[in-house]
Chain A
Amino acid sequence: MPARGDHRRMTTTVPRPRASGSLRRRLWRLAETVTTPVLPGDYLDLVAPLRAGTDLRGRILAVRAETPDAATLLIRPGRGWRPHVPGQYVRLGVDVDGVRQWRAYSVTSRPGRHPEPISVTVKAIEDGVVSNHLVRRVRPGTIVQLDQAQGDFVLPDPSPARVLFLTAGSGITPVAGMLRSGVLAGSDVVLVHSAPTAADVVFGAELRHLAERGAIRLVERHTNVEGLLDVAELDVLVPDHLDRQTWACGPVGLLDAAEAHWSARGYAQRLHTERFRPTIITAGDGGTVTFTRSSVTVTAGGATPLLDAGENAGVLMPSGCRMGICFGCVLPLRQGAVRDLRNGELTTALPGDGVRVQTCVSAAAGPCELEI
């Protein structure tokens, strides 16, 4: 402990420039001793959730309707935000009904730094817990959790001279990010986009404007009238499509068909796809349980607590009351589905969701991975 005099000197003397880093560290450590058991940051977060050095968050500045079921969120990212590469997505942690849910959305704005806002465009899908919340209920001012942008659905540098974008529905969003960034200026760009009707085309007006200006050639496919696009039609719609570097984003069916089409003609390396559909977790009765850090995998029945399954396989499981009241056995569920043995409630998780479960009252409901 510094003596009282030392302490005074430390706080009042003007530091020499070289010592400033270390002084700052010492002050921070001092602050930690005052705020223990929490961190100084836990106090600062109350007033400055977007400051540097804290978990990355963003504040929703505005929600703009794009189509009847899609909206663009304008988000001011925290100081720690690193500019994205056009085409990348950002993971958004949103509290829906009090529960934190994580989803990935393409960034549709031009790359920038705090305080410049980023935008994502969300299409409400049927029964979508998060998408409906974001499109219809979320209010400006809400703080959301963010991750740094990621993903390799991006253009090379320099951009190719001839490009085809093949998109459908909300698959337009990463492409919109690329088009807006300006990196394609001078390239020959064709966009083939499918949506149920003209009104459902996300960024419809903007895309048509780009086409009028001659910046892109736009082929709109309104599937309610013209039916789903058969990828073979590209031979007619874009005769030189195989000569182009192609980026495709949309429903699984479209991507599978595109991959088959390009491979069959021997041009698979020219097609880049982005699969946005989350991994579908199908719940069953029992399943394989993997204890990731112990590298143990066992098959467990739908009535066997994960705790028992782990212990029987020799995993050193934390445990307590074994009746669901003490929370001494809680472990991260990396991914998969488990069922609460008390009320049958299902919990599903994907990597990054941050879901933790009580292993003594949960059973496998399909393949699942526990971090231990």
Chain B
Amino acid sequence: MTVIQKKATNPIAHLSAEDIETLGEELDAIRQRVIDSRGERDAAYIRKVISTQRKLEISSRVVLLFSLFPPAWIVGTAGLAVAKILENMEIGHNVLHGQWDWMRDPKIHSTSWEWDHATPAEQWKQSHNELHHRYTNVVGKDNDLGYGIMRVDEDQPWHPAYLGQPFYNFVNACFFEYGVAAYDLDLGTNLKEGRHKHPEFRAKLRAAGRKIRRQVLKDYVIHPLLSGPSFFHTMAATFTANLIRNLWSHSVIMCGHFPEGVETFEKTSIDGETRGEWYLRQMLGSANISGSRLMHIMTGNLSFQIEHHLFPDLPSNRYQEIAPEVRALFDRYGLKYVTGSLPRQVFSAWWKVIRLAFPNRRQPATPAVDDQPTPVLVAA
């Protein structure tokens, strides 16, 4: 992938400025239709998901009190992993996007929600909603491109340190929530530039520290203690559930912007960007995952990453419904709707991480489509 502006064949060259604005208006119309029809059905959906998640979490934790017995360990761990995934993906991520603010329920609101995650909601909202969603795939602006530790675009300059990135990415996947917390704090840059004594940074650090302490206490101290003789088994179970949740959310999120076919953009290209151009960047900068209804719920409907990036504040249960309309727009405007099954997209994203650990082999003039990966490299 090379920034769209440097490509030999620019995939949007056939669109005039007018086309792009018309496209924007068509997308605005889709958004408005969803807003006009938002109602009881949607409210019932999110309340149902929240109540299911809470019941699943509490019952899994109760089962884990007896985790000394292998069947209880397996059932409890699986239940807790699913509960944590639901809590982070379909509930937390989406509530923090303000997708449910319209219900005016103070308990399900972007300003009051806190999630089962190492990073405090407030810090995540800033780095994710404000920076990533605004600067999606702009090299040098959107830190989600490689999370500041990896090279995921030919236009990011190579450095020998990137040779280790397949390994960093795997470690990051296993401890993803802590990776996200460090990322939200912009830990690397702040430490490197000696800002660790700045009061603002220290306040954020303290908040993250408090959040992590509470999370660790719950999963690795209190819950195991309550399990009595099952202490170590419960500790292993919560660790496993967190690990599964981390690997899953890392995979889903990698599929959002890293697979082949997703475009990136030059920093200067967004100066004076119009609404239509912003929409277009979201369309080209995101990739979907195809799959069953259950899979979509487990990804927090981030399997509709394109729809989510176009309309980050629409209720997640609606992405699936508008996807055909959005796809029709891609077809009509001659744009590539990047989608694929989960294994395929995970593979594609991992292959890019591995490929770009090494310096560019050719000059970007030749598109990298012939880089067919060898199946032995399939990860997780």
Footprint of B on A, CB under 8 Å?
A: 1, 4, 7-8, 30, 33-34, 36-38, 42-43, 46, 95, 97-101, 320-321, 323-328, 330, 342-343, 345, 353-356, 358
Contacts and interface: CB of A to CB of B under 8 A. Distances in A.
Of the listed residues A8, A324, A325, the one surrounded by the most CB atoms of chain B closer than 10 A to its CB is A325
A33 B218 contact: yes
Interface stretch (B99-107, B176-184, B330-338, B351-359): B99-107
Given A98-B44, A99-B103, 11 more contacts: A7-B226, A38-B114, A99-B43, A99-B102, A320-B129, A321-B133, A326-B125, A326-B133, A326-B134, A327-B111, A343-B28
B171 to A, nearest CB: 25
15 contacts: A36-B215, A98-B41, A100-B103, A100-B104, A320-B130, A321-B129, A323-B278, A325-B129, A325-B313, A342-B28, A345-B35, A353-B104, A356-B101, A356-B109, A358-B98
B55 interface: yes
A263 to B, nearest CB: 41
B223 A34 contact: yes
Contacts of A330: 98, 101, 110-111
B295 interface: no
A337 to B, nearest CB: 16
SS of B interface (majority): helix
Nearest to B104: A100
Contacts of A42: 54, 107
Interface residues of B, number: 52
A324 B278 CA distance: 13
A226 B183 CA distance: 75
Nearest to A353: B104
Nearest to B214: A36
B160 to A, nearest CB: 36
Contacts of B54: 38, 42-43, 46
Interface string B39-57: 1111110000001001100
B58 A327 contact: no
5 closest A-B pairs by beta carbon, nearest first, are A98-B43, A327-B98, A326-B129, A37-B114, A320-B130
A324 B129 CA distance: 10
Interface in B5-58: 28, 32, 35, 38-44, 51, 54-55, 58
A243 to B, nearest CB: 48
A97 B44 CA distance: 10
Nearest to A328: B130
